[in-house]
Structure 1
């Protein structure tokens, strides 16, 4: 049975799963972690699982690799949740000690409202299609391709409209 270079490298670090490799378990591990923590944190914890596997005793041979990986992952998930809970408690305690923090002052609220009104006026001065393209891309976070498909435009036209809209907005007079 042939083994690939990654398998040989892993055996040298105490990870002897026979002819299997990380790739054989990667999809299972990511699905497991994403289900418990969400996709953002799954990648970080998967890396930690692999680091722990690489630190394994070189003499240890694992009979059920997937179960072993899930065991490591479940311990990491529990630790992660405990740490997250502690952080939330610390933040809650800090807010209770300083209740004014996190609240906008009247001046800050007025400034934000003024800025919002100015942005609305600036968008109203743009040609309708340019404003729609700019809002779809910047406010809704759509890619140029998604904006083009949604509005029935070419990608080149979307790029051109965004550039023109930004240029027009830069030349407008803004109140302080």
Structure 2
């Protein structure tokens, strides 16, 4: 580090570190204040031309204020994803994902339903898949296949009932 940069940093630290520490403490609390001030002086050192800063004291205050804002923003985000207690028992954590038993159960039900659908006429399967898989409405399917809407509704209902009956017979 050039001598002038070093001297400028020492002078600024000597003259402003206590007031910056108090300012940072007021912004983020005493616990994080020292880290904020250290980060502020680090940012000052990383400035390409610190001697070109017309008001170094104001610059330091601005950096502390910005870091304080960032600190609060990070704490808010962290607070959304952590619990009140420091220690969380692994058994108390709930996964949004289904467990292995539920996955196997779902796979078995799906296989039974697909097997049941294979025994239906192709048009029933096609209408059912368009509705349940592709998300088309009964009216959209009727228009696409040139069928009456009531027929599409009946095909979907019969396919669903057939799937349910077959699945319950083989599963339950």
TM-score scaled to structure 1, two decimals?
Answer: 0.43
TM-score scaled to structure 2, two decimals?
Answer: 0.43
**Structure showing greater Rg:** 2
Kindly indicate which of the two structures has a greater share of residues assigned to helix.
2
